[in-house]
Structure 1
Amino acid sequence: MYLIIFDVDGTLVDSQNTILHGLQVGFEAAGLPMPDRQTALSIVGRSLEEAFRDLVGPDHLEKAPLMAEAYRQSKISRRGQGLDIDPLYPGAREAIDRLHARDEVLLGIATGKAMRGVRHMQETHDLHDRFVTIQTADTSPSKPHPDMILRAMSETGVEPARTLMIGDTGFDMAMAKAAGVHALGVTWGYHDHARLAAEGADKIIHSFDELERALSDFLKYDEETV
């Protein structure tokens, strides 16, 4: 059995606009200026309070909980209005469906989102039965701590050599290396090729069209049997 773990933001869904809106709400709540777009998005993947701490720096660390709560409440409100709908990246749905259909593959999630955000994503895109293990910021330390992957392997009984983490940030790659599993970077998200490589990516792909070949290289199954 193989375990393939996906990050969410920047890997499965294009959430940059809704994340930026939430960050803006947080900075406004704290009376601080919003950083530029590239800087703001560089923290995607981190747990919410840790992300705000990274962005505000040592002079305003005490404001991070307030900012995180403002972000959360904005998300709850906007989702209740049918807003903040993050689209799947091209090819994501097809890739998930193909992998889910394989008897020897289990799918999981490891994300800096709260479970509430993951459930919203599942409901929006009808992905309720695809993932057998879901690890979130509610129960684990922020990436790159390996706890999410360790929990996923414990829940599924899959060993590190047969586990692969797929993500778009250096945090995902570093988390995978810390957990002793394979790391597959994707370049359509928030960190570039150089950062993914520097943080330990074993392989880097540029579209979901490349995923099956990459998985056959890592996990040693025949992609033609999909």
Structure 2
Amino acid sequence: MKPLAVFDIDGTLVDSRVLIHEATVAAARRVGLADPSYDVVRQTVGLSLHEAMRAIQPGLTDPELAEFVAGFQAFFRARYEAGHEEPLYAGVEDTLRRLKRDGWRLALATGQNRRGVARNMARAGWADLFVSTHCAEDGPGKPDPAMLIAAMAACGACTATTIMIGDTGHDHRMAVAAGAVAQGVGWGFHTAQEQIAAGAVHVALDLPELEAALDRFAAGQRAA
């Protein structure tokens, strides 16, 4: 059976660190809140937007939370309407295409909404790379295993042949809950120590190290 690599987006494939913090600060100012620090914001990335914003400002009423969320979405919408596209980490495109050539099945599991997924899938060639995409709007968000279980079902994979690649503890807790292998990357939102504590079996510090880890995983599947 071909191995399945399920990728997170923000902080794993796409460098959205600055923009997500800027959007959260803009949203906070819109509702009269103090600017949240990057360290507070980064801990919530990967959760669904409502869960993330509630974690950043847990004392908000439901109407205040709705306004906070709306401010975040408005910031991103204005940036995208102005033609902004968040950059891929250098080398990501080559890594994804190499995995596809080597026979991997690829999927996405992200805390973004469907609009965000669609924007990413509109990148040149991405529609041909990924078998399926799964996001927080499809059901329970990370760290609930629902997204990853859905990805395995859509790709005809099982837990033994599935590896989840992400940059946050939310990704890894989801992988552990689903029974898949949790593979970390060290260039996103959570530290290597935070990822290991959440269940990552390894944290790659660059893309060549990630590819080597995935090669080992694939070799193990072939030997089984």
- TM score, norm. by length of structure 1: 0.92
Q: CA deviation at 1:10?
A: 0.3
Deviations 1:143-196 (A, max 9, x none): 111111011011111001000000000000100000000010011001001111
Distance 1:151 1:43 in 2: 23
Return the letter of the residue paired with 1:31. Answer: G
Q: SS of the residue aligned with 2:108?
A: strand
Alignment-derived partner of residue 96 in structure 2? 96
RMSD of aligned Cα (Å): 1.7
Count of residue correspondences: 220
Q: Which residue of 1 aligns with 2:36?
A: 35
The corresponding residue for 2:50 is: 49
Q: What residue number does 2:169 align with?
A: 170
Distance 2:61 2:134 in 1: 26
C-alpha deviation, 1:73, in angstroms: 2.6
Give the C-alpha shift of residue 108 in structure 1: 0.3
Q: Does 1:106 align with 2:105?
A: yes
Secondary structure of 2:60's counterpart equals helix
The corresponding residue for 2:210 is 211
CA displacement 1:44-102 (0-9 Å, x = unmatched): 11110100010102x2152222211221232223211102x211112211100101112
After TM superposition, give the deviation of residue 207 of structure 1 in Å.
Answer: 0.4
- Give the 3 Å change call, closer, same or farther, for CA 102–61 of structure 1 in structure 2: farther
Q: Distance in 1 between matches of 2:199 and 2:61?
A: 29
| Distance verdict in 2 for CA 1:65–1:149, change over 3 Å | same
Deviation per residue, 1:107-146 (Å, 9 max, x gap):
0000001121122123245422111110011112221111
Partner of 2:10: 9
Q: Which amino acid aligns with 1:181?
A: A
Q: Following the alignment from structure 1 to structure 2, what is the Cα–Cα distance between the partners of residues 178 and 207? A: 26
Percent of aligned pairs with the same amino acid: 35
**Cα separation, 1, equivalents of 2:88 and 2:45:** 16
Confirm or deny that 1:195 pairs with 2:194.
yes
| 1:53–1:61 Cα contact (<8 Å) kept | no
Q: 2:128 corresponds to which letter in structure 1?
A: D
**C-alpha contact 2:185 2:210 (8 A) present in aligned 1:** no
Unpaired runs of 5+ in structure 1? none
Q: Which residue of 2 aligns with 1:81?
A: 82
| Unmatched runs of 5 consecutive residues or more in structure 2 | none
Work out whether residues 91 and 209 of structure 1, in 8 Å CA contact, stay in contact via their aligned partners in 2: no
Answer whether contact 2:24 2:36 (CA < 8 A) is retained: no
